[in-house]
């Protein structure tokens, strides 16, 4: 039986993220230390890192580009741009609403 979880509520321990992406826990720790990937929290019981869905997506993109022969720097830059496009897409409706409100104020 599968349980659906909203992407913004998903949490993965470092070992789970490693298994899901094919990136070693050692590599994930290095990427976190370099600031390429961020854990959302630490599990109080075991003090293991917890990563959210955006980290999963970012790690997957980075790994794909590394596997394609790109440098780590290039792969990280591409992943950051990709995630920024997603954030821009999510905020676009809000910006459109604000624009409409401001337009109404100036038209009156």
- Residues contacting 44, CB < 8 A, separation 6+: none
Tens of pLDDT, residues 17-33: 999 999 999 999 999 99
* All structural domains of the chain with their residue ranges: 7-107
Which has more confidence, 105 or 90? 90
Tens of pLDDT, residues 50-90: 998 889 989 999 999 999 999 999 999 999 998 887 766 66
Write down the pLDDT at residue 2: 47
Q: pTM for the full model?
A: 0.72
Collect contacts of 71-80 with beta carbons under 8 A, ≥24 apart. 72/36, 76/36, 79/36
Q: Does domain 7-107 have CATH number 1.20.140.70?
A: no
């Amino acid at each position: 039986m599968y349980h659906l979880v909203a992407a913004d509520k998903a949490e993965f321990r470092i070992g789970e993220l490693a298994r899901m992406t094919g990136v070693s826990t050692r590599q994930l720790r290095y990427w976190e230390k370099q600031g390429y990937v961020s854990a959302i929290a630490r599990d109080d019981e075991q003090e293991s890192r917890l990563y959210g869905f955006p980290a999963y997506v970012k790690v997957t993109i980075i790994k794909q580009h590394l596997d394609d022969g790109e440098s780590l720097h290039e792969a990280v830059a591409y992943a950051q741009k990709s995630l920024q496009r997603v954030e821009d897409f999510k905020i676009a409706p809000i910006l459109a609403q604000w624009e409409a409100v401001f337009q109404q104020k100036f038209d009156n």
